[in-house]
Structure 1
Amino acid sequence: MTQQQQFEALVEWLRSAITEQEAFTLGYNAEASEFIRFNHAKVRQAGHVQQASLNVKLIDDGRHADLHLTLAGDAQVDLARLAEALQQLRETLVLLPQDPYLLPNTDAWQISNSQNPPLPDTARVLEHISELAEGLDLVGFYAAGPLYRGFASSWGALGWHQANSFNFDWSLFHANGQAVKANYAGHDWDDATFARRFQQAREQLEFLDQPLRTLAPGQYRAYLAPAALDEIIGMLCWGGFSAEALASKTSPLQRLYNGDARLNPLVSLDEQVTGSLSPAFSGEGYPRRDLPLINAGLAQEQLVGSRSAAEYGLTANGAGGGESPSALSMAAGALELEQVLKQLGTGLYISNLWYLNFSDQSAARLTGMTRFATFWVENGEIQAPVSTMRFDDSAYSLLGTALEALTCERELILSASTYSQRQTASSLLPGALISRLTLTL
């Protein structure tokens, strides 16, 4: 049986097992993943993980309880586990109060989407990495394989999603302890594209030979590579587009959604479900659609989960429990990658940022550290690596008044998290040229 057939068999059993007054939702998560770790450009650990699990919610008279269970892949064993879970949930429900914000989707929708382009041959990938990394101190992690998501409800909803993907996250270390971090991810592995990405990292590694340049605190022109911009956008996603955060006035983008501020007209952000690794339905059972979040610098739609919909009188649009984007896409600009250093002129080339947090959440003010391969550039040429610095600046400047250009080429960044399971979250982002970035120490 395929994963989809296994899931649908469990759905049919559960529909026949519940009583007339009971209802359920059933979420399915599975993967068949290759995991390979590199150290000193050698394969140090290789393995294959195949796993599947269920999230079962039982509802009765406004009460609900959830249970997570791991599947064995044996139909009889899995049915027995599901039956035991159903009994546990029934025993739990009688102890619980009614939930005033429970708002299940009672529509009988059906969605099926399979993105299954051929995955790269693992042996060929390893050979290519070995060839390019010859003589280098490479540390990295490669993950690839299909991800499966399913959803069903007692009201007739049925969703299925399969997406094949790979993600190679690596660093090249210099003998002096500094490093260049890079990433290549997507649906279709292309040797030429990977070679270009690797060559760029190798060229940056050579600049780490130069003595570190220490800068005084102040404002500097800067280029944020897609990975660095991803850290900033990622922080804004912590409640930035959340209906609950906006209703409770705790969103870092509160001023934007209130109409009291705007971002640069170059900035357009969408939750681009179509074509992404993320399923077109939520774990709560609501279909998802493409949503414009910011258009030409102005706030548009917000992400609404079922509880926010119930509490604030809104319409749920398929947002997950955290109401954060999971398929974020930022519109490209017109700046060619080959022109980045020339247009930067004199300033900072920032490959990565880390340890970000809000220094003033209500003002969308962020602080964090430069990380890996941050370079000082003069007259369009890299001069030296820069000592680790802290920045503190507002998104209304970085993505507003100080934003000069966005690159026409965007980078797909997949979640590298493997906690419990591989994730489907992604962002598609350009690089950003900033006229001033405030360094504080």
Structure 2
Amino acid sequence: MADFGSEVETFRAEARDWLEANFPKALAKDPMAQVAKMSAQPESDDARAWRKAMGEKGWGVPTWPAEYGGGGLSTAQTRVLHEEMAKIGARNPIGGMGVMMFGPTLIEYGTEELKRQHLPGIITGEVRWCQGYSEPGSGSDLASLQTRAEDKGDHWLVNGSKIWTSGANIADRCFCLVRTDTTKKHEGISFLLIDMKAPGVEVRPILLINGTSPFCETFFTDVKVPKDQLFGPLNGGWTVAKRLLQFERDNISAGLGGGNIGQTVAMPTVVEAARQYVGLGEDGRLADGDLRRRITEHLMENRAFQLTVRRAQDEAKSKGPSNAAAIMKYAGAKIAMERNELLIESLGHQGLGWGGAGFSEAEVQAMRVMLRSKANSIEGGTSEINLNVVSKRVLGLPDPK
């Protein structure tokens, strides 16, 4: 009988030695610097070196096929790698929409030519992708999209616009839904891969209430796209698009339970903030009993959510995410918003700062992150749409009459 325990421990030693040799120690002191590239900040020398090392090793996407540059690791090895990274304060520098959404879909649906063309850049973090789905008149009813792609013989000619294209201003390429047949709705949609540096592509960042501009308007005016950049069947893009949405919801929900989108500096946890700003009573417990109760309920709900996400991810490794990802996305958005609202409440008047003297960087960040978290219930499928998915495709309930 094979001794898988010995194999795992052998890999643990390999991972530990490799991390010791390649992880820049300075990054452990500033974890946010490790994700600078994904948050559109200039990469430091250490962050760049760490990304290149992980990209060349393939460990940024540890379970992806080794033949395309991925890590090719087993589930057990991947768990060990994450454990060893956590011990030294190392975060995965390879991420973004290429990893979260497009890459897994490409592995499942792409031709060999498209895989070999696009997967290496995603795996090394050299190529950044954005998502061309929503349009000004096509949000929740995504299939009503009107961006056109006309067949011009040796290329597609794309005209139209997209909105809420996260990171479009720094993206190299866009996975984009276009209409190739105006006589049908869902069956008239195709999936194109567009070079964001191509002539005719214009991007305008949208200023959000928290002072950042992660979302953009994107305009396509007579943009030429090579014929070989059609992903999936002609007029069969809707099937591919739905699968990608499952990966998106699965990845967003996994992140919502443990972190904050848009966070760029370290912030206190809800418990830390409550202890510091609200204070403890003579019994050593949080002085505000009602706040103590609500924080406890939140922590229990979040812990149950994280365990459920982990179980769902283990199940998805064999067959990919299912429509149950809509449940996790809905729950994750709710929990993330509750966490940030509780943090602001715990900070008291120090949580109301926007800038200037009297407020620490972490306090200002808490307010901006709380405002940003409101979008958690919209992006990646609104909470209402996700509840509809659960109703129809998970529970099998009939449409309301």
Do both proteins adopt the same fold according to a TM-score greater than 0.5, normalized to the shorter chain? no
**Greater relative contact order (Cα < 8 A, sep 6+):** 1
| TM-score normalised to structure 2 length | 0.24
Instruction: Flag the structure with larger Rg.
Output: 1
More strand by share: 1
More helix by share: 2
